[in-house]
């Protein structure tokens, strides 16, 4: 089946630094990737949608300069949290689809803690 690898699974960084999270589709070409944020005991909130080779589309209220998304190839998308602050601490999850109906595959998530 379709597999999406997300790395790292957890990261601790100092306030003011930047952190990059990678999302790779291992056995299919991901025409579209999605990035979500999840707070404890809550649902997933969509942050942005990225299509290979084009700029990401951000949801309302998401700062595009803080959360930089790059989708340079059909198998890799990255999310960079710039100048991280403690309030950016969260669980970030990516999802990828090849465009096949109903075919969304999720990564295992990245726990970001900013200290």
Partner 1 sequence: TQLLEQSPQFLSIQEGENLTVYCNSSSVFSSLQWYRQEPGEGPVLLVTVVTGGEVKKLKRLTFQFGDARKDSSLHITAAQPGDTGLYLCAAPGGGTSYGKLTFGQGTILTVHP
Residue number with CB closer to partner 1 (13 or 45): 45
Residue number with CB closer to partner 1 (4 or 79): 4
Any residues with CB less than 8 A from the CB of 48 and at least 6 apart, and which? 34, 35, 56, 57, 58, 59, 62, 64, 67, 69
Residues forming contacts to partner 1 in the complex (CB under 8 A) are 4, 6, 9, 32, 34, 41-44, 46, 49, 91, 93, 95, 97, 99, 101-102, 104, 106-109, 111
Residue number with CB closer to partner 1 (50 or 75): 50
Rounded Cα gap, residues 16 and 53, in angstroms: 29
């Amino acid at each position: 089946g379709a597999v999406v690898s997300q790395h790292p699974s957890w990261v601790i960084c100092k306030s003011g630094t930047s952190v990059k999270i990678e999302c790779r589709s291992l056995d299919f070409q991901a025409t579209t990737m999605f990035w979500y944020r999840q707070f404890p005991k809550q649902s997933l909130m969509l942050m942005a949608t990225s299509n290979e080779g084009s700029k990401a589309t951000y949801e309302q209220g998401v700062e595009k300069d803080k959360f930089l998304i790059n989708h340079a190839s059909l198998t890799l998308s990255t999310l960079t949290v710039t100048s991280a602050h403690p309030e950016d601490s969260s669980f970030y999850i990516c999802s990828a689809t090849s465009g096949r109906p109903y075919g969304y595959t999720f990564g295992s998530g990245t726990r970001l803690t900013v200290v």
